[in-house]
Amino acid sequence: MKSKVLISVPHYDERCKEGLKILEENNCEPIITQNGRPYTFEELKEIIGDIDAVIAGVDTWDASVFEYAKKLKGVARFGIGVDNFNLDDFKKYGIHASNTPGINRNSVAEHAVALMLCTVRNIPQLNRTTREGAWA
């Protein structure tokens, strides 16, 4: 019997083909969100009952969801922050919580360089004045 893995990260199937392959090779059935946004509590409540594990986006994971998650063994945050995890509730329900430190380090570095270039080249100000009809 395959383990059901809920993936609440929008576009995971496009971004992480290697991750999907690993799940499938390890007898897992990925269930990928198609709504393009975090799950609401009402949506999670309806689907979480027979889920074994979760690769979570930014949806909220706490006791209110765990009450319906009788088979859930672990939730892995697809990112570094766990501010959407109530870690005390994870302990209370015996559910393993993890994250993926360092997964976005390249994106953070690229964004930092982009912001520095914007500052040095006055891009926000030039964008505003150009939209106002000026061409400095």
Confidence band for 135, pLDDT divided at 50, 70 and 90: confident
Confidence band for 6, pLDDT divided at 50, 70 and 90: very high
User: In sequence order, what E strands does 12-73 have?
Assistant: 28-32, 53-56
* Cα-based torsion angle of the residue sequence 35, 39, 41, 46 in order, rounded to the nearest 10 degrees: 60
Tens of pLDDT, residues 61-86: 999 999 999 999 999 999 888 999 99
Q: Do residues 13 and 20 make contact, with C-beta atoms less than 8 angstroms apart?
A: yes
In Å, how far are 47, 55, 136 from 79, measured between CA atoms? Answer: 23, 10, 41
Cα separation, 67 vs 84, in Å, equals 17
CA angle 126, 129, 133 (to 5 degrees): 130
Longest Cα–Cα distance in the chain: 66
What would the CATH number be for the domain defined by 3-103?
3.40.50.720
Residue 130 is encoded by which pair of tokens?
Answer: 């150009």
> The whole model's pTM is what?
0.78
Q: Is the pLDDT of residue 136 over 90?
A: no
Residue ranges of the chain that CATH labels 3.40.50.720? 3-103
Query: Residue 81 has what pLDDT?
Result: 87
Tens of pLDDT, residues 17-74: 999 999 999 999 999 998 888 888 899 999 999 999 999 999 999 999 999 999 999 9
